[in-house]
Structures are given as C-alpha cells and as structure tokens.
Copies of this chain bind each other. A is one copy, B any other.
Amino acid sequence: MAHKDATLEEVDQALKEAQLAFLSYKNFSGKKKATFLRAIADEIEALGAALVSIAMKETNLPEARIVGERGRTTHHCRMFADLVEEGSWLEARVDTALPNRVPAPKPDLRKMLVPLGPVVVFGAANFPLAYSTAGGDTASALAGGCPVIVKAHPAHAGTSELVAKAIFTAIEKTGMPKGVFQHLYGAGFEVGQALVKNPLTKAVGFTGSLAGGKALFDLANQRPEPIPVFAEMSSINPIILLPETLNRDADKTAATLAGSITLGVGQFCTNPGLILAIEGAGLDQFIKSLGTEIEKAIPSTMLHQGIADNYSKKLKNALAQKGVKVEASASAEGTSAQGRPTVASVSASDFAKNPALAEEVFGPFSLIVRCKDMKELNTVVNYAHGQLTASIIADESEILNYKSLINSLVEKAGRLVINGVPTGVEVVAAQNHGGPFPATTDSRFTAVGTDSIKRFVRPVSFQNFPDTLLPDELKESNPLTIWRLYNGEWRK
C-alpha cells in the first residue's frame, strides 16, 4: 500500500483548513462536541475485523492487544464526550462587580478555558490505535475545541488510514466542519517539521524517542511565536525492591516483574528498565528466579525492523558498559526482527558513574542495580533523571519506614506505584501519565486521562460583558448547570 508523503503545499493547505474549521468549531457546545466524539468511537467499532487485521499485520502485535487497544481508544473518545458535556473541566470562575467599591469600582470578571487552535499530532509507533490517529492526543484536543492534523506513523500508515476514514465519516454524520480533522503522511522529517513550523499550528502532541521529541521541542521554541510541544519521550521506570519483602517474596516478585518486562515485547514507555535492590540472599534469589523466567520467555517480533535494530544496538551498548553482567537472556535467540528478553546487573557505584546506563533501552530489557545499603540506593534515586513512573515493591509494614524514599521519588516521577508494575496505564481522572524531563517536555501536564485536555486550552477573562455576549458557560443563570467558582464558592 503506497501512502504518498504530503507536499509542503498540502501541509500549508491543511493548516489553512484547520484554522477555518477552528473559527466555528471552537464555539461548539460541549454537547455538540460530545456527539462528534461518540460518533468517532462508533465508527471505529464499525471498522470491525478489518481494523484489527491490518493493525496486527503492520505492528506484529497480537490480536488481544489490538482489540484491547481499540477498546481503550473508543473508551477515551466517550470519556472525553462525557467530560465536555459535564463542563467542570472549563475552570469557570465568576467574580461579580462591586460598582460602589472605593477607591475604584470592582468590575465583573468571568473566566473560562478556550481552545488554543490547530494541534498537530504525531502517530506513535508503539500504540497504533490508542496513541495514534484517534489516540489520546487527538481525542483530548478535539474535546478541547482544537482541530487536529495527524501525521500518520509510517510503520502503520494503513491502520492510520482506516481510523482516519472512521473520523471522516463521523465528521459527515455529525455535521462537523471538514477541516476539524486532517490526516497526512510523511515518512521522513520534512512533513513533521513543516507542520510544527507552520504559524497556524498552536500546539504539538508527540510520543516517541528522546531525540525526536527534543528536536520538535527545540523547533517549536525557535519559532517567531513559540508553541507548546507535549512530547512523551524517555523513561526507564525504576522499581525499588525493599529488602525484608524481597527476602520473603523473591520468587513471586521475579514472576511479576518478568511479566511486566516482556509485556508487548517491552515496547511500552512504562516498561520497567531499572530495578534497584540491596545486596543479600533475597536479591540473589530474585535474580536467579527472574533469570529462569526470562530464559523461558519467547522472543517476539517487534513493531518494525527499525525498532528491533535499535533495541539490539542499545542493548549491546548497555551490556558492554563497565561492570555490567548479563544475568539471563531468553534461551531462544529469535530473528533479527525480534526482541530477545534480557536482564543484566551492575553495582550501584558503576551505575552512578556512567550516564550511559541511565538511558532507555526500548524493548524487553531491565538492568538490576545492586546497592550495598539503603544509603547507596538513595544516592541512585537522587541521581536519576525524570521518569513517568517509580514503583516500590514492599509490604505495608516495611514501607512505613521509608517515607523519605517516597518523598524523594515524588520529585522524580509522575506516578508512584506501590506493589504493582508500572505497565498498564488506567484511563481515569486520577491518572498522571507524564513526569519531569526527559520523561516528557512538560511535567505539568498528563497525556492520559481527562486532565490531558488541559494541554490544549488557555484561560480568557471577560470583563464587564453584557450577559447576552458571554459564552453560555459564564452567563449569570448558569444555563448549562456546570460547576463554577462563583464569588469564591463552588456552585452548580
């Protein structure tokens, strides 16, 4: 299937159409946008088996994963539909006038969030549905009132095309302006760069490598008008095994982590790439047991050859670092397109001296850092970069002695997990999928869950507006019955 790269003229035209659509779409009510978002979910479901089979073929992911991801995609479309109907996300605030205040009258001020404008979304290699064409970035931007231009990921352009068609059908059926969603191809860097540089583009969503995300971030900041880039890039998601629990539950912990390390051939941004523990019999047993699990693991074909080559190159590099010892690899070597599950270990002192070991190896690999004691473990934690997640495996009674460790981890990660694995990102209001740099370019926003809509909006205040000219959300009678902060009180 040939998907022709967009020309620079087509990029320009797409932004013009997006801007035109924006001028009406931005004023659509939550109800109207909800109809559109639900229609997208319906049309994706209507694609049926054709979508599943092309996605499987293009990504080498198994059917259950693709079906699950489709469910997650339609779920977030409907979740955002509910959100924009409910309306509290708009952060509506009303402060009424005091015309007789001295020395100066107090004006009437009303504020709410409004959309930024056209948003460019880059399809993600590792989520052909949930973080691509109708993925979380697209759904949250559309919910916020922003038109979206998707650059299809070249590795699953056919899947992207099918989903785009579903969205086009939803546009027609619900009477949305045509330019509210557009779909372009671009296998090289040119199309993506042109999209980010176009003056009509107001924000960018990206999930991928540190090099790719940082390049877009720099490009966007160098524009005459800088714009926000939400790039989710690089995280090795440390797992800390506390000693008492490890001594007792080494085998169980090993089985749980082996499952998380090899899940989806390790191709998750939340893959646990780093395990920290204190030396002793518990850790020895854990490493032995984890080794057994990893040896049994079956190498699977990765998303595309480029990712497999990159895994193999980065793995080789990590294993070649001073003091790194391979603990286990899958017995079956697999093909060059497959990722061979591997675990290695290194001492905390060698780890701390070598920044190369803190880099992400995207695939089914994890590095165990052997620490002499808790002090050394804390040093490794404090030395770590920003992460999407950090996890602690320990009984409640043990963990209560480690409050200061949690206090440090809050500074390092966007989500802290106790007695669980970081893979599996629940799509709910309380989710935070984000974290300090280099996990993302902006730790202040989540890429998953209802609050991800906040990336694509900005506040505007209306001062002394006649009621008829105010958006419905801010009118005195609150006709939409949304939660608002009214003269300092939460009211509906």
CB-nearest residue of chain B to A490: B483
A93–B95 alpha-carbon span in the complex (Å): 25
Whether a CB of chain B sits under 8 angstroms from the CB of A414 is yes
Whether a CB of chain B sits under 8 angstroms from the CB of A117 is yes
Q: Name the interface residues of A196-254: CB closer than 8 Å to any CB of B.
A: 217-218, 221, 225-226, 228
Our pick among B400, B438, B442, B485 for the contact of A469 (Cβ within 8 Å) is B400
Q: Is A414 in contact with B462, judged by CB distance below 8 angstroms?
A: no
Whether a CB of chain B sits under 8 angstroms from the CB of A109 is yes
Whether a CB of chain B sits under 8 angstroms from the CB of A356 is no
List the number of copies, as a whole number: 2
Nearest 10 CB-CB pairings of A with B? A109-B430, A432-B461, A93-B430, A415-B461, A95-B428, A95-B430, A417-B463, A111-B430, A443-B458, A93-B429
A468: chain B residues at CB < 8 Å are 396, 400
Query: Which of A42-50, A158-166, A273-281, A404-412 is the interface stretch?
Result: A404-412
A93: chain B residues at CB < 8 Å are 428-430, 451
A334: chain B residues at CB < 8 Å are none
Whether a CB of chain B sits under 8 angstroms from the CB of A420 is yes
Q: Is A107 in contact with B426, judged by CB distance below 8 angstroms?
A: yes
Q: Nearest Cβ distance between residue A169 and chain B, in whole angstroms? A: 29
CB-nearest residue of chain B to A23: B407
A364: chain B residues at CB < 8 Å are none
Given contacts A93-B429, A446-B459, 6 further A-B contacts (CB under 8 A): A95-B429, A399-B466, A413-B460, A414-B459, A418-B463, A430-B461
Our pick among B221, B419, B431, B438 for the contact of A221 (Cβ within 8 Å) is B221
A464 and B418 in contact, given A218-B221, A451-B91, A469-B406 (Cβ under 8 angstroms) = yes
Our pick among B27, B410, B430 for the contact of A114 (Cβ within 8 Å) is B410
Whether a CB of chain B sits under 8 angstroms from the CB of A106 is yes
Whether a CB of chain B sits under 8 angstroms from the CB of A416 is yes
Q: Nearest Cβ distance between residue A41 and chain B, in whole angstroms? A: 18
Q: Nearest Cβ distance between residue A281 and chain B, in whole angstroms? A: 27
A176–B92 alpha-carbon span in the complex (Å): 34
A485–B457 alpha-carbon span in the complex (Å): 20
A2: chain B residues at CB < 8 Å are none
Residues on A lying within 8 angstroms of B by beta carbon are 23, 27, 68, 88, 91, 93-95, 103-104, 106-107, 109-111, 114, 116-117, 217-218, 221, 225-226, 228, 386, 396, 399-400, 403, 406-407, 410-411, 413-420, 424, 426, 428-432, 434, 436-438, 441-446, 451, 454, 457-466, 468-469, 483, 485, 488, 490
A104: chain B residues at CB < 8 Å are 424
Q: Is A94 in contact with B430, judged by CB distance below 8 angstroms?
A: yes
A451 and B459 in contact, given A464-B420, A490-B483 (Cβ under 8 angstroms) = yes
Q: Nearest Cβ distance between residue A113 and chain B, in whole angstroms? A: 9
A424: chain B residues at CB < 8 Å are 104, 107
A438: chain B residues at CB < 8 Å are 225
A432–B459 alpha-carbon span in the complex (Å): 7
Our pick among B403, B443, B460 for the contact of A432 (Cβ within 8 Å) is B460
A411–B88 alpha-carbon span in the complex (Å): 22
Q: Is B429 in contact with A458, judged by CB distance below 8 angstroms?
A: no
Q: Is B431 in contact with A109, judged by CB distance below 8 angstroms?
A: yes
A432: chain B residues at CB < 8 Å are 111, 459-461
Q: Is B95 in contact with A426, judged by CB distance below 8 angstroms?
A: yes
CB-nearest residue of chain B to A109: B430
Q: Is B386 in contact with A469, judged by CB distance below 8 angstroms?
A: no
A446: chain B residues at CB < 8 Å are 459
Q: Nearest Cβ distance between residue A69 and chain B, in whole angstroms? A: 13
A111: chain B residues at CB < 8 Å are 429-432, 451
CB-nearest residue of chain B to A397: B466
Q: Is B116 in contact with A416, judged by CB distance below 8 angstroms?
A: no
A68: chain B residues at CB < 8 Å are 103
Q: Is B420 in contact with A463, judged by CB distance below 8 angstroms?
A: yes
Q: Nearest Cβ distance between residue A410 and chain B, in whole angstroms? A: 6
Q: Is A415 in contact with B458, judged by CB distance below 8 angstroms?
A: no
Q: Nearest Cβ distance between residue A298 and chain B, in whole angstroms? A: 21
A411–B199 alpha-carbon span in the complex (Å): 14
CB-nearest residue of chain B to A408: B23
A57–B111 alpha-carbon span in the complex (Å): 38
CB-nearest residue of chain B to A419: B464
Q: Is A117 in contact with B411, judged by CB distance below 8 angstroms?
A: yes
